[in-house]
Structure 1
Amino acid sequence: MEHVMSQEETVWHLGYVIIGENNKIHELDFGKEVTESEAERHRESTYSLMELFTESPYAALEKRYSSLKATLAELSNPEQDSSSTYGRMGAIQQGVDDFLSAFRAFDDRTSRQLNKKFGAASPELQLFKRALSHEFDTSFAYRFACKLRNYSQHCGRVPFSGNVRGFLGPDGSKNRIFALTLDPAKLLGEFDAWGAKVRADLQSMTNEFSAEDFIDQAMTSCMVAHVKLVISQKEAVEDAANYILSLGSNSANPKRWPAFFTLKKDQWSATSKGQDISFQYVRLDVATHALQSLSGGAALLASIGYGETAT
């Protein structure tokens, strides 16, 4: 949160914002004077972590994936009206289109960010490209999603079939399963640009296959590539996150958030109310998320047989 003030001689302070009832600002504790370079380092550290984590192309893909999964879960709810299933297919189609767009953007936008930040020949960009190439070579779901995005662009919405099966459990409880499937023969007949590998994959299939399963597996491939990229920047991530966390804590009082203040030299005091003060929250949340993601990512790669430097 920031407020704009007139451009007069100012100083930086590191203090706290005290939150009162209804999550409104109750009091400002200006704390101690600090250098502008400390505030700038906080901004740069926060931006670099947000670019890699909370505001990354991968984070956008996760949101689309979660939204699609929620829509599919609704249709497996035993309380769902069966007559509404057909009407929900449009929402599923849109959800798949959104997922495929974010799937493509994950590659394109991440590559562009890495090129801008590190350069076209950088180890970071090359590692990311190798990671995606590995997924294309080893995962049908990933390479199929790549080509299905092209299908969606050139042929319109993906031709899914939705099937609902309801049944009673041993205890008499109602159960419902919604299955979203794709017909490989229909896909081959409607689109020519599958590429040799995906065409061979589809030709080898004799039955319809689960669309939700392939989406889950394609998402896993993207997650693996993202985690490899994160781990390749482990030292920079830890340095940025630990610096942010060193600036303060709200663990003792969740209503007391550390913040940088921009103050006129004759304006600061121990506390203040009602003044037009510029401040920036210290992003403890972003730093904590980054360290948790780094730790969890390393454990994930180990659990599925990848080393930290695996390509």
Structure 2
Amino acid sequence: MKTETITYSLSTFEKPDLWMVREFSEEEFRKYSNYITSLMRLESNENLYKIVDLNYFDFKAKISKTVKSLDNGVNSNEFENLYLDINRHILNILSSIRTYLDHTETRIKREYGSNSEEFLNFKTQTSKAYDENFSYRFLYKLRNYAQHCGLPAGSLSTTASQTGNSLKLCLVKNELLLNYDSWGVIIKQELNNKEDLFDIIPLIDQKFEILKEINKNINNLTYKHYQQEAQELMNLLWESKSKNGTPCIVETVGANEKLKLNIRWFPYKPISKITGVQFEII
């Protein structure tokens, strides 16, 4: 029985052509393929934070668009729809934040252990954020409130001034306290000290900035574990710049019309983040 020919290479692809840069051993191909898989998994983990980022961006865009539309006037029906739509964005933010935090804690503990620097750093940062920031701990509990009690009672209000229009989404303190018993002693006391109506929008802004810093610190520690993978893949990218097309590593099985290709593409984003080197994606 005739054995199929198998070759491994660093190549570039520009439809319909595939150019070889140099051949690999099977061991090299498997190593680089595993590196690519590892960095793609890292990028997938980071997508949970990107969802938080996108939800926050949509929320701020909605606020900005609403403020601009106030120049033309808004009737009561439009105001009710705006209130519901802004609340929808808020619920999306709170839910995605909770998902990000829960999954990140589980992932770090599973990958590095409960006594690792990475896990202790995560727990220290999130505990500190909860202890030191009303916005962080209140919105953490508000997500639970929304899950069990529905939308919190509130009102949408606008203000016009010489510097422009502004918008507030105010929650009703007494409704929050009466409808939910699990705020905890500290938050319950803080709510009692709040005005009867208080704006949730600046609290969301504050929590987002805190979470962005937490995510940045998590990544700084995580990236240390992927230095070798990112550096070696980056070296291959530099090597492939001598050819036109998009760099890839290729397993080629057979020949001519029976040719089969297993192509692995380079994960540019994590390579760039870890090495600090920006590549032009072709």
TM range (shorter): 0.7 to 0.9
SS in 1 for 2:107: helix
Partner of 2:107: 113
Asked if 1:281 corresponds to 2:250, the answer is: no
Asked if 1:68 corresponds to 2:68, the answer is: no
CA distance in 2, matches of 1:247, 1:152: 50
Residues 48/140 of structure 1: CA separation in 2 closer, same or farther (3 Å cut): farther
Which residue identity does 2:203 align to in structure 1? F
Aligned-residue offset at 1:94: 1.8
| Matched length | 271
Residues 47/210 of structure 1: CA separation in 2 closer, same or farther (3 Å cut): farther
Partner of 1:296: none
Residues 8/113 of structure 1: CA separation in 2 closer, same or farther (3 Å cut): farther
Q: Deviations over 1:9-52 (max 9, x none)?
A: 5222111122xxxxxx3422132211344444444434444444
Q: Which runs of 5+ in 2 are unaligned?
A: 278-282
Contact 1:181–1:208 (CA under 8 A) maintained in structure 2: yes
Percent of aligned pairs with the same residue?
Answer: 21
CA distance in 2, matches of 1:251, 1:90: 52
Q: Deviations over 1:78-102 (max 9, x none)?
A: 4676243432332222221121111
TM-score normalised by length of structure 1: 0.75
Residues 52/142 of structure 1: CA separation in 2 closer, same or farther (3 Å cut): farther
What is the aligned counterpart of 1:13 among 9, 12, 17? 9
CA distance in 1, matches of 2:125, 2:243: 40
Select the structure that is richer in helix.
Answer: 2
What is the aligned counterpart of 2:74 among 82, 89, 94? 82
Residues 52/71 of structure 1: CA separation in 2 closer, same or farther (3 Å cut): farther
Q: Deviations over 1:239-260 (max 9, x none)?
A: 3322222111599799731111
Partner of 2:92: 98
Aligned-residue offset at 1:148: 0.6
**How large is the RMSD of aligned CA atoms in angstroms?**
3.2
Residues 80/260 of structure 1: CA separation in 2 closer, same or farther (3 Å cut): farther
Q: Deviations over 1:111-131 (max 9, x none)?
A: 111122222333222221111
CA distance in 2, matches of 1:99, 1:69: 11
Q: Which runs of 5+ in 1 are unaligned?
A: 1-6, 19-24, 170-174, 268-272, 294-311
Contact 1:61–1:103 (CA under 8 A) maintained in structure 2: yes
SS in 1 for 2:156: strand
Structure 1: which 4+ aligned runs deviate by more than 6 Å?
A: 250-255
TM-score normalised by length of structure 2: 0.82
Residues 9/251 of structure 1: CA separation in 2 closer, same or farther (3 Å cut): closer
Aligned-residue offset at 1:262: 1.6
Contact 2:223–2:274 (CA under 8 A) maintained in structure 1: no
Residues 93/234 of structure 1: CA separation in 2 closer, same or farther (3 Å cut): same
Which residue identity does 2:198 align to in structure 1? F
Residues 37/230 of structure 1: CA separation in 2 closer, same or farther (3 Å cut): farther
**Deviation larger for 153-162 or 245-254:** 245-254
Partner of 1:45: 35
Which residue identity does 2:67 align to in structure 1? S
CA distance in 2, matches of 1:75, 1:204: 30
Residues 262/251 of structure 1: CA separation in 2 closer, same or farther (3 Å cut): closer
Partner of 2:280: none
Q: Deviations over 1:227-276 (max 9, x none)?
A: 22222234224333222221115997997311111202545xxxxx9965
Contact 2:55–2:89 (CA under 8 A) maintained in structure 1: yes
